[in-house]
Chain A
Amino acid sequence: MSAPGRTNLRGSVGYSQNSTPNGGAAPPCQNGPLQTYPPMYPPTGYYGAPPHHQGYPGVSAPGKAPVTNSANYYQSNQQHHVAPSSYSAGPPPQPYATVPSSAPPPPPPHAQYSQQPFQQPPYAPPGSYYAQQPYQVSPAQLHQQPGLVAAPASGPGAPIYPSAPGSGHYGTTRTTTAPEATQMGAPLHHYSAAPPPPTAALHPGYEAAAQMTVNGKGCAAGVQNSSHQHYDQSHPAPRSYNSYSGGGADRPASGTLSASAHSSPGRHQGTPFGFAADSGASSASAAASGPAGALTSSSSDDDDEDEDEEAGGDSSSSSTGSASPVPNNYDSLEGGSYPDSMPPSNDMTNQAQPYSNYGYQGMPPAYQQGPAQPTDAPPSQNLYGPSGYQPYSQPFPSLSQLSAALGGLSGVPELEVEALRPVNLLQERNLLPPRPLEAPEPDISSDLKKVNCSPQTFRCTLTSMPQTQALLNKARLPLGLLLHPFRDLQQLPVITSNTIVRCRSCRTYINPFVTFLDQRRWKCNLCYRVNDVPDEFMYNPVTRSYGEPHKRPEVQNSTVEFIASSDYMLRPPQPAVYLFVLDVSHNAVEAGYLKRFCDSLLENLDKIPGDTRTRVGFLTFDSTVHFYNLTEGLSQPQMLVVSDIDDVFIPSHDSLMVNLKESRELVKELLTSLPAMFSQSRETHSALGPALQAAFKLMSPTGGRVSVFQTQLPTLGAGKLQSREDPNQRSSAKGVQHLGPATDFYKKLALDCSGQQIGVDLFLLSSQYADLASLACIAKYSAGSVFYYPSFHHVHNPAQMEKFRRDLERYLTRKIGFEAVMRIRCTKGLSIHTFHGNFFVRSTDLLSLANVNPDSAFAVQMSIDDSLADSSLACFQAALLYTSSKGKRRIRVHTLCLPVVSQLSDVFAGADVQAITCLLANMAIDRSISCSLSDARDAVVNAAVDFASAYRSSVSNLQQSGLVVPAVMRLFPLYVLALLKQKALRTGTSTRLDERVFAMCEFKTQPLPQLMRMLHPDLYRLDNMSDQGALHLNDAVVPQPRLLHLSAETLSRDGAFLMDCGSVFYLWIGKGCGETFIRDVLGCPSYASVPSNMSHIPELQTPLSERVRAFLDWLQDNRAFSSTFHVVKDDSSAKAAFLQHLVEDRTESASSYHDFLQHVHQQMSK
């Protein structure tokens, strides 16, 4: 979770008192020093931030830590319009109304909100109480807006797609490819090829609900549908929320018994919420350690706040606020004994009873209830507030039994209904949420949610884990994890203790999701073994108290870092060792990267991570290999040339890798003289292979990082390559050859390197084909990274040069871990199927990473071996053991917890469309290398087709004939199409082989947010940004323009549009763009005078310029590598680069979004 956003947000709405523990740290930390544990340990954990509560803490509870990013984010969209004491304004009610056009929802009428004062009198009429709930869960609403609108296809403002049926493009039909896929055991089809039988498991109630929304009539609302009806009704009334409970179909205005009886889901939600409030407070206060005296008070404020909230609905609820640390509350936390197979609606029986005891046990049902809200669009019920029903349910526990009985009637929770609301893609066009999608939340109790791992670190494609493989096959969605384990964190509890508590049988690290059976025993959440709590663990360093093992930081945070003892070392921790292998052939000198590299290294020499033991070395090569003796005491660097490239040897063993501290002057001298040394070189050959062998020999005693800079195809010695690319075939639609390596030399060398803990990073700065497919292997299997700068030239291509400079700066200074291994453990019954990323797989769950860097991510495909029926939660733990650049052995542990569900609809409701797309991309790339590109493309299309068919057959009574998908997955076909149009997978468009291969490498290693921006760039209109919904960061105002569809129709001649593609920004200026914008932002008098190669925005003092720059900086803030910037004029030649990202449009070789949908639809009916 990117803390900057959150922090700043909080500042903006006046939380700023809450400075320290939860992210007062403002700037995004790169390589931020990790402080040791006690002072840093935040009261409620950095990650724990379930948006469930955010409504409350939002305004007047400064101490309340867990305000999630997402919530804040959206809330603040409108916040500044509202009086400070009002509830954070959520999105407008309007979107829910069936606005009869598919035009983007109009700017929210804020007036409505501001009329709703936040400080409700505690006994406010229930109506107004409800009224406020929606605001808490805002992201959903925003996302949902377009979806709810059942717009006619030709509604005003709807994009009109070229309707030529160009779908023949998709070639092979699904029926032919699917069997083949299974035969080959190919990853894309690890589910069975048989079409899923229609599921009868769906609740009738749900179906009814679904149908209702489809028809968009707010029809004869059954009990459970009242909220829908409400949408429709509420639209015109400005004070709609007030009227909610009164007007909502049959919910009595007094909001009492009968309400709680039939609308069980709501109450259901409510229960855990109440609990969470308590425990949040309690954990906060318990954890508020020495360092945070102020925190203690703030957290108690928080506590009060929660009580107030509850009291607002019901006076008797204050009892739950006691929040005293109940020693065995972890029993209920992990509760091994809930009946799992119960359908959600029956949970109430359970729930009722614990509730009458005390608040803590109220939560178990939440586990079982599994399904709904982890969607990216937390569904409608949410809107009406998790705590909405709670007040009523609480005092009448016995009623919940009644409701349990009625539960069967009321059907699936409304929550789910929204996530699963069928969306007919052929009719609804405006599917994009106004802001980039947030990760869906697993539907676990808010208490667990709070400690759950950040979605930025650990994300699962299905946030509701299907119980069996059969259920997973029915859903037709890939199951997998996306991991970014070593990402830069701002807050990380670091724990030093003699014994690291782990399960004795499966070696799982103790984590927030274990169960404490009593004071001395805990039960592992992965293998269910009961372990002893060691004595040392009984002492809590935070509170300096004894006997509270469940308050230890390990148990309060799902991401922790341990300082490992010598048990975790095979050898003493290695020093940071860096070797730079530089191509100095004629080609390299021509390209002129050497000067830039030397300058960068000189600038950053002090920032390279390391300690006094840090060692560096240099090695250059053309047709021979040159070593540099930099031993301290020499007057100048000594060059040693080895020309026997068939059997490279190391000329001198101890003087080539030198201590950076001792030989700093010599290193500087070498870097200064190096560019000039080879400026006259006429040597055109490149002996990369021998140079790498030499590097391996040089590094093998210590391990470390080798950075290779290569500018051409290696032509000499071992590992020489031939040009395999046929330029005429670049745009061939038939299939692309040579995606795999030509030789296994680099792979074998990489494996040797990996064995010696050497990571190799490759910088390819080539203007011609350099066979990246073969060369990339050296980085792929040694856990390195690949950088590619096509047509790099220091004069002719300043943009690449600038990118190289920035990347290099980040590369040299970013954090690094050496001799690392990562193990991924998962709950018994789950197993790892395939890994994606750069590493070497050492055993079924162990990755060997010679180097680990904060910018690379991993993907893991999972399979379900045994039924998970006997547990209500599935957990995953990734443990990364590495040596820091300071020579400390550390273990970073991430734990993710997900609910297990048994209903297909729950699985659908929990689908994470972005994660699924990214995993699918990884699988497709594997497939295109192992089989063929066209196979991979077919498989990707089939994934969309299969999913849509699976959904259709699961909803048997669906009336519509169109292409219908659940609302959570409504962007899936769009993403699939975008994937097909990526450089990596596209056909028909001229794509250089190296660029294609590089795009594939990127897909394998980039973290999800970056990948999603590459795949489906964010498009904003900049020239008419309003302050509406803007963020207030520190002293700057960051406007938040709406996301636009990636289609030429959204572009208008008189506008300026920003496209954020992850590593590059395009600012497209229309011909008729307003003079003001051009003058105030670009500093040019007119459109014509805007230079065509402009690559930055001048710092002008105009308000518009400031806002544009604030927005750009804000976008830039969260990413590791800074992005380049291009101004694209409408008539310039660079326009093509911009236009190719408009994935919804038809190109000469690929179909438009509409055609694609037609194609999918046709395939479905086959």
Chain B
Amino acid sequence: MAFTFAAFCYMLALLLTAALIFFAIWHIIAFDELKTDYKNPIDQCNTLNPTIEKVKKIKRVKIALKLVLPEYLIHFFFCVMFLCAAEWLTLFLNLPLLAYHVWRYTSRPVMSCPGLYDPTTIMNADILAYCQKEGWCKLAFYLLSFFYYLYGMIYVLVSS
């Protein structure tokens, strides 16, 4: 029983995945709110996208930054960690999502600031439904991977 780098990766991934699960839930709630008409899409996109408007203070931006882009970055981060730790199976399991993130960000609408969501098109029922579905799928994926990391961590700790 030794505390290897791989074990460390798993522990870190475990924690970060918990955060990602939180993001996914937040994402689902946000779009549900949007669909059921409690929020104005401009506000919505401002919280979902990291905005750098002067009006929105840095604090607001920080909160907003915890969303889409950070999610992608966190995920990318522990993928790199697994790569370094040579946990090929785990990496392989994460690759599809990584690829999806890259695709999603490259095909975003024309925007001058980072972010994915365009307030003018987000109310389109197709896009809205897509985003909701995306949220649920991600939630499921993160939940499963949470338990997988837990198992992986214990396995690495025990086996070594």
On A, residues with C-beta under 8 Å from B are 185-187, 190, 740-745, 747-748, 751, 755, 781, 831-835, 840-846, 861, 863
Question: With contacts A740-B110, A834-B124 known, is A843 near B37, CB below 8 A?
Answer: yes
A861 to B129, CA, bound (A): 15
Chain B residues positioned under 8 Å from A842 (CB to CB): 40-41, 123
Closest 6 pairs between A and B when the two form their complex, measured CB to CB = A841-B123, A185-B126, A833-B125, A843-B37, A834-B124, A744-B111
Residues of A within 8 A of B118 (CB): 744, 747
Q: How many A-B residue pairs have CB under 8 A?
A: 59
Query: Could you say which residues of chain A place their CB within 8 Å of the CB of B40?
Result: 842-843
Q: What are the residues of chain B within 8 A of A781 when measuring CB–CB?
A: 120
Give complex CA distance A743, B37 in Å.
29
> Which of A190, A744, A755 is in CB contact (< 8 Å) with B110?
A744
Within the complex, the shortest CB–CB distance from A111 to chain B, in Å, comes to: 57
Would you give the shortest CB distance from B32 to chain A, in whole angstroms?
A: 12
B35 touches A186 (CB 8 A): no
Q: What residue in chain B is nearest A189 (Cβ atoms)?
A: B126
Would you call B42 and A190 a contact (CB within 8 A)? no
Which A residues are CB-close (under 8 A) to B109? 744
Q: Is the CB of B127 within 8 A of A744?
A: no
Contact A843 B123 (CB under 8 A): yes
Which residues 18-44 of B sit at the A interface, judged by CB distance below 8 A? 34-37, 39-42
In contact, B120 and A751 (Cβ under 8 angstroms): yes
Q: With A743-B110, A843-B40 in contact, do A833 and B120 touch (Cβ < 8 Å)? A: no
Please tell me if the beta carbons of A841 and B120 are within 8 angstroms of each other in the complex: yes
Does A748 contact B112, Cβ atoms closer than 8 Å? yes
When the two chains form their complex, are residues A751 and B119 in contact, meaning their CB atoms are under 8 A apart? Answer: yes
Which residues on A sit within 8 Å (CB–CB) of B147?
Answer: none
The residue in chain B whose Cβ has the minimal distance to the Cβ of A781 is B120
Residue pair B126, A186 in contact (C-beta under 8 Å): yes
| B130 interface contact, C-beta 8 A | yes
Hey, which chain B residues are within 8 Å of A751, CB to CB?
42, 119-120
- Give chain B residues whose Cβ lies under 8 Å from the Cβ of A846: 37
B126–A834 contact, CB under 8 A? yes
Q: How far is the CB of A571 from chain B (nearest CB, A)?
A: 17
Q: Are B129 and A840 within 8 A (Cβ)?
A: no
Residue among B36, B112, B120 making CB contact with A840, cutoff 8 Å:
B120
Report whether B112 and A745 are in contact in the complex, using a CB–CB cutoff of 8 Å. Answer: yes
**Contact of A190 with B120 in the complex, beta carbons under 8 Å:** no
* Residue in B37, B109, B119, B125 whose Cβ sees the most chain A Cβ within 10 Å: B125
Determine the residue in chain A with the shortest Cβ distance to B125: A833
Q: Quick check: B130 and A185 within 8 Å, CB to CB?
A: yes
Q: Is the interface of B mostly helix, strand, loop or mixed?
A: loop
- Asked if residues A185 and B129 are in contact (CB atoms below 8 Å), the reply is yes
A-B contact pairs, 26 of them (CB 8 A): A185-B126, A185-B129, A186-B126, A187-B124, A187-B126, A190-B126, A741-B110, A743-B110, A744-B110, A744-B118, A745-B112, A747-B120, A751-B42, A751-B120, A834-B126, A841-B41, A841-B120, A841-B123, A841-B124, A842-B40, A842-B123, A843-B40, A844-B36, A846-B37, A861-B125, A863-B125
For the complex with contacts A833-B125, A842-B40, 9 further pairs of A-B residues with Cβ separation under 8 Å are: A185-B130, A744-B112, A744-B118, A745-B112, A747-B120, A751-B119, A841-B123, A843-B39, A863-B125
CA distance A185 to B132 in the complex (A): 13
Task: Tell me whether A185 and B127 are in contact (CB under 8 A).
Answer: yes
Residue of B nearest to A841 (CB): B123
**Closest CB-CB distance, A845 to chain B, in whole Å?**
8
Tell me, in angstroms, the Cα distance from A747 to B35 when the chains sit together.
22
B101-134 vs A, CB cutoff 8 Å, 1 = contact: the mask equals 0000000011110000011100111110110000
CB neighbours of A863 from chain B (8 A): 125
Give the docked Cα–Cα distance between A190 and B125 (Å): 10
**A840 CA to B111 CA, complexed, in Å:** 17
Residue of A nearest to B111 (CB): A744
A842 and B37 alpha carbons, distance in the complex (Å) = 9
CA distance A843 to B40 in the complex (A): 6
Cα–Cα distance between A742 and B110 once the two chains are bound (Å): 7
Shortest distance between the CB of A659 and any CB in chain B (Å):
31
Contact: A844 with B123, CB < 8 Å? yes
User: In this complex, what residue of B is CB-closest to A861?
Assistant: B125
Q: How far is the CB of A928 from chain B (nearest CB, A)?
A: 15
Chain B residues within 8 Å of A840, by CB: 119-120
Among B112, B123, B130: residue with most chain A CB under 10 A:
B123
CA A1051 – CA B110 in complex, angstroms? 47
Q: Tell me the nearest residue of chain B to A741, going by C-beta.
A: B110
Are A743 and B119 in touch, CB under 8 angstroms? no
Instruction: Write the nearest CB–CB distance from A695 to chain B, whole angstroms.
Output: 19
Of chain B, the residue at the smallest CB distance from A718 is B112
B100 CB, nearest partner CB in chain A, Å: 13
Question: In whole angstroms, what is the CA distance A924 to B110 when docked?
Answer: 20
Expressed in whole angstroms, the Cα–Cα distance for A354 and B23 within the complex equals 61
Residue numbers in B under 8 Å from A744 (CB-CB): 109-112, 118
CA distance A1126 to B126 in the complex (A): 44
Decide if A831 touches B37 in the complex (CB within 8 Å): no
**Closest CB-CB distance, A935 to chain B, in whole Å?**
14
Contacts of A831 in B (CB 8 A): 125
Report chain A residues within 8 Å CB of B127: 185
Q: Considering the chains assembled together, what is the distance between the CA atoms of A844 and B34 in angstroms?
A: 8
Across-interface contacts of B126 in A (CB, < 8 A): 185-187, 190, 833-834
**Distance of A751 Cα from B44 Cα, bound (Å):** 13
